[in-house]
Amino acid sequence: MVKKACVCSVSDLLAPHAARVEGDLHRWLVERGTPDELAEAMRYCVDGGKRLRPAIVHLTHEALGPGEEDLAARAAVAVELVHCYSLVHDDLPAMDDDVLRRGRPTAHVKFGQAMAILAGDALLTRAFGVLADSGRRLAGAVAGELALAAGGAGMIAGQVADMKLCRLPAGQGGLRFMHERKTAALIRAAARMGAICGRAAGPEVQAVGDYGLSLGLAFQLFDDLLDATASAEAIGKTPGKDARAGKRTYVTELGLDRARALGEELTQQAVAALAPLGRRAAVLSELAELLARRTH
Amino acid sequence: MVKKACVCSVSDLLAPHAARVEGDLHRWLVERGTPDELAEAMRYCVDGGKRLRPAIVHLTHEALGPGEEDLAARAAVAVELVHCYSLVHDDLPAMDDDVLRRGRPTAHVKFGQAMAILAGDALLTRAFGVLADSGRRLAGAVAGELALAAGGAGMIAGQVADMKLCRLPAGQGGLRFMHERKTAALIRAAARMGAICGRAAGPEVQAVGDYGLSLGLAFQLFDDLLDATASAEAIGKTPGKDARAGKRTYVTELGLDRARALGEELTQQAVAALAPLGRRAAVLSELAELLARRTH
């Protein structure tokens, strides 16, 4: 575990893990035989992320491990590849039609729609390839978590809801349905994948999963708050776009003050879920608290 | 193994396996919690296929098994889900912009582009979920074959080549590069996955893989021939579209007669690859011969 004298921000806390993930991502991303043009687009699609989800894999693995170090590193890469593919496809003209992501042109603006669709498909496929290539028996359980969280009853259901392609309950119930699937399911899976790699017991996997779900909801809520209040420079994407697109967000539903209060409540739920793990979970609690105070 | 007195066509040979695959597909396709609208689109995207790839999984598994019956059934479903997702994404306006598939409107015509992209993503994700849910140790090796064949150095590279998004050698070399990846890689993987589930020895897996690669190339070549000569009614999609789209096919490169001769040659290569397997591979040889004589 990497110790720092003063962890003052999310970036400080994630930095050592994010650095490791960068190396692993670029080592495993492109298979031999991939056309150069596709490889370039795939690299572009994964560059520049905060690496929150893979860091959560590493943090839960460290908290509940040791064991299966290589598989945990692969799980971290896999969850980030799934996250990156989802951004690329969500940004497409037929979806959110966004032109700015991580402070740069979105993949379809840079490479055209066909390449953006295919690069996204390649990232999703590679996520499962990276796990399978481990040769480890536990890889199946890890892949199962990822597929469930990313699939038609998980992240994709969330995007279907966000695109108003399915019926939803009115008000906060509908928002929660969407965010649980679109954002929180994958963060929950990241936490569970790290725990599974660390050969944690069932109740421990459950505890970090509950933490991940509340953390994911809080993370999305604070994202909505930042979208409503921050500048493009600070957040690296088009701000205020949700409101202009007529999208329901926690801010449009609740107003800024009640949304902030709900964010605090979700953060406390995330921390409370970790109680069964005692001191081992200190850094996970700290991450939840720091995410509630981030400004970008 | 299902025996028939007279197997006169590809459909006759595939029928008993295709029937089984239909049941398995619909049993495993939609996870609980999937929004109804997404589930409907996913079902539409998988309906109506010939089930060639999953039948090849079952045929190689029967030839080289027994063992791992459940995993083989899952491998068959997984390879078909990957095939179906690739058709949905390839048909999109930003790709081949096709409106007719299997005699019906393409998914994006029926459900809109956003839902078509997401249903495709959900099918791809579910393919790996179906394998992971087996709980079998061999599922990792099977998933690895599928990810390699479907990924950025396999099927997606083929589509990148077909969309002229990467540099290719001129003439037949470029066509072969494309078809090996776009079509043959997944058929090769289907054969290898069936053999792996049947706990076949390495040289046997290699032999059916070589068979699958030649069979896949022959299959694509006969597809090009049908596209150039058959009616929409017979093939269930827009005919002559390749030529009008200015696409290079074996027919535009070689002319009908030389293309037919190459198809025969590839068929014989497929049959020859099976020699080490002796009589166990009789039905696989028969499939290759029947595919060379199909009219739709």
With 80 as the cut, is the pLDDT of residue A283 above it?
Answer: yes
Predicted pLDDT at B4: 47
Residue A105 belongs to some domain of the structure: yes
Confidence of residue A231 (pLDDT cuts 50, 70, 90): low
Tokens of B155: 């099927």
Residue B31 belongs to some domain of the structure: yes
Predicted pLDDT at A236: 62
Angle at A126 between CA A154 and CA A2, to 5 degrees: 85
Mean pLDDT of chain B: 92
**Are A123 and A141 a contacting pair, CB within 8 Å?**
no
Tokens of A118: 């295919």
Closest by CA to B59, choosing from B222, B190, B199, B207, is: B190
Residue B246 — φ and ψ, nearest 5°? 70, 20
Least confident range of A245-259, B128-142, B202-216: A245-259
Strands (E), chain A: 100-101, 104-105
Q: How many residue contacts between A and B have a Cβ separation below 8 Å?
A: 193
Average pLDDT over residues A84-91: 98
Angle at A115 between CA A113 and CA A121, to 5 degrees: 105
In terms of residues, how long is chain B?
296
Confidence of residue A7 (pLDDT cuts 50, 70, 90): low
d(CA A185, nearest CA chain B) in Å: 13
With contacts defined as CB-CB under 8 Å, which chain B residues touch A137? 137, 140
Residue A101 — φ and ψ, nearest 5°? -150, 130
Whether B7 contacts chain A with CB within 8 A: no
Residue B56 belongs to some domain of the structure: yes
Higher-confidence residue of A243 and B169: namely B169
Confidence of residue B173 (pLDDT cuts 50, 70, 90): confident
Average pLDDT over residues A7-27: 92
| Cα Rg, chain A, nearest whole Å | 18
Range of the domain at A243: 10-291
Alpha carbon separation from B125 to A146, A194, B79, B248 (Å, rounded): 9, 20, 12, 31
Whether B157 contacts chain A with CB within 8 A: yes
With 60 as the cut, is the pLDDT of residue A221 above it?
Answer: yes
**Chain mean position to CA B180:** 12
Predicted pLDDT at A229: 84
Predicted confidence (pLDDT) per residue in A174-216, tens digit? 999 999 999 999 999 999 999 999 999 999 999 999 999 999 9
Residue A62 belongs to some domain of the structure: yes
Mean pLDDT of chain A: 92
Q: What is the ipTM of this complex?
A: 0.94
Tokens of A38: 């596709």
Exposure of B291 in the CB half-sphere (CA atoms within 13 A): 30
Alpha carbon separation from A113 to B25, B117, B126 (Å, rounded): 30, 12, 24
Average pLDDT over residues B199-210: 98
With 90 as the cut, is the pLDDT of residue B230 above it?
Answer: no
Average pLDDT over residues A253-280: 95
Whether residue A118 and residue B144 make contact (CB cut-off 8 A), yes or no, is no
With contacts defined as CB-CB under 8 Å, which chain A residues touch B92? 117
Q: Please give the tally of structural domains in chain A.
A: 1
Q: Considering only residues 34 to 93 of chain A, which have any Cβ-Cβ distance to chain B shorter than 8 Å?
A: 34-39, 42, 85, 89, 92
Residue B54 belongs to some domain of the structure: yes
Closest by CA to B55, choosing from B85, B16, B84, is: B16
d(CA B6, nearest CA chain A) in Å: 40
Predicted confidence (pLDDT) per residue in B16-50, tens digit? 999 999 999 999 999 999 999 999 999 999 999 99
With 50 as the cut, is the pLDDT of residue B117 above it?
Answer: yes
Average pLDDT over residues A19-28: 96
Would you give the DSSP letter of residue A83?
Answer: H
Whether residue A165 and residue B112 make contact (CB cut-off 8 A), yes or no, is yes
Predicted pLDDT at B228: 85
Closest by CA to B71, choosing from B3, B155, B141, B121, is: B141
Predicted pLDDT at A4: 47
d(CA A291, nearest CA chain B) in Å: 29
Question: In this structure, what CATH number is given to the domain that contains residue B113?
Answer: 1.10.600.10
Strand partners, B100: B105
**Are B223 and B186 a contacting pair, CB within 8 Å?**
no
**Are B210 and B174 a contacting pair, CB within 8 Å?**
no
**Are B250 and B171 a contacting pair, CB within 8 Å?**
no
With 70 as the cut, is the pLDDT of residue A1 above it?
Answer: no
Residue B218 belongs to some domain of the structure: yes
Average pLDDT over residues B246-267: 90
For B140, nearest residue in chain A (alpha carbons): A132
With 90 as the cut, is the pLDDT of residue B213 above it?
Answer: yes
Percent of residues in chain A assigned helix, strand, coil, to nearest 5:
70, 0, 25
Q: Rounded distance, CA A271 to CA A265, Å?
A: 10
Q: Closest to A165 (Cβ–Cβ): which among B37, B126, B146? A: B37
Task: Tokens 């921390």: give the residue.
Answer: A271
Residue A178 belongs to some domain of the structure: yes
- Cis check: omega of the bond before A54, within 30 degrees of 0: no
With 90 as the cut, is the pLDDT of residue B238 above it?
Answer: no
Average pLDDT over residues A3-15: 76
Residue A4 belongs to some domain of the structure: no
**Chain mean position to CA B193:** 13
Helix residue ranges per DSSP H, chain B: 10-28, 36-46, 52-64, 69-90, 107-111, 113-132, 139-150, 155-162, 171-179, 185-197, 202-229, 232-235, 241-244, 250-273, 282-291
